[in-house]
């Protein structure tokens, strides 16, 4: 499987994502600059964390208009897995690939520490290797991770089983319903504030993020087998 790590001016977690895919997962991966106009050669798209365009206006608001986002949208519409982590999640929200919006943390402070997540949905291509209700440890590093949506959208997220992860025990940012990550209705786009790419080896303090990337590869290969059979 071949992944693209999208790099925007101000991305700072692209190397972490690249390492997780190449050195830990053992899959093919390339950095792709924000002005790229074709992602057809890639099977999966990864939008890393950071401060794209300095987070001016709003986090992700300028990156959403980068040339590459037209291709990210096309990839999502084609059913390819698209993962946005932290700033990547914010960009997916701004691009309309996921519903809702991101606000400043409730305490108005930047937070960087491990948190516990509860796996809420194991039917998506990102979470199938987890157990339902499994509690995992993944680090956060954000100042604007307070996810918000209106009541109608929240009802729809619940009805469609689109809440992938929720904060367990303590909600660090005030996110509505403790939401830490959501998918689109098709289940091939995931946005999450915690950083699974920083939790792929015990040396990093947790390897709980590895199952997310393994889920992507497993489901992509299953889908590829069905298509070619």
Q: Which residues are marked as active site?
A: 86, 195, 197
CA 105 remoteness from chain centre? 18
Is the distance from CB of 217 to CB of 147 less than 8 angstroms?
no
Q: Is 111 exposed, middle or buried (0-12, 13-18, 19+ CB in 10 A)?
A: middle
Three-state secondary-structure class, residue 51: coil
Q: For residue 144, with 0-12 CB atoms within 10 Å meaning exposed, 13-18 middle and 19 or more buried, which class applies?
A: buried
d(CA 41, CA 34): 16
Q: How far apart are the first and last CA of the chain?
A: 18
> In sequence order, what are the residues at sequence separation of 6 or more whose Cβ sits closer than 8 angstroms to the Cβ of residue 45?
3, 4, 6, 39, 72, 75, 76, 80, 81, 82, 83
Q: Is the dihedral of CA 3, 75, 145, 118 positive or negative?
A: negative
């Amino acid at each position: 499987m071949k992944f693209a790590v999208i790099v925007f001016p101000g991305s700072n977690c692209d190397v972490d994502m690249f390492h997780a895919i190449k050195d830990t997962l053992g899959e093919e991966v390339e950095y792709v600059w924000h002005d790229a106009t074709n992602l057809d050669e890639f099977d999966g798209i990864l939008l890393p964390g950071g401060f794209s365009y300095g987070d001016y206006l709003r986090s992700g608001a300028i990156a959403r208009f980068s040339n590459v986002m037209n291709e990210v949208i096309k990839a999502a519409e084609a059913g390819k897995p698209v993962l946005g982590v932290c700033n990547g999640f914010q960009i997916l929200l701004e691009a309309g690939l996921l519903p809702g919006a991101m606000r400043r943390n409730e305490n108005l402070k930047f937070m960087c520490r491990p948190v516990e997540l509860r796996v809420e949905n194991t039917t998506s291509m990102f979470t199938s290797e987890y157990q339902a209700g499994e509690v995992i440890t993944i680090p956060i590093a954000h100042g604007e991770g307070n996810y918000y949506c209106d009541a109608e959208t929240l009802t729809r997220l619940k009805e469609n089983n689109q809440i992938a992860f929720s904060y367990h025990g303590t909600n660090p940012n005030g996110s509505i319903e403790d939401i830490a990550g959501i998918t689109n209705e098709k289940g091939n786009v995931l946005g999450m504030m915690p950083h699974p790419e920083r939790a792929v080896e015990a040396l990093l303090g947790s390897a709980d993020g590895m199952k997310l990337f393994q889920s992507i590869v497993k489901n992509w290969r299953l889908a590829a087998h069905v298509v070619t059979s």
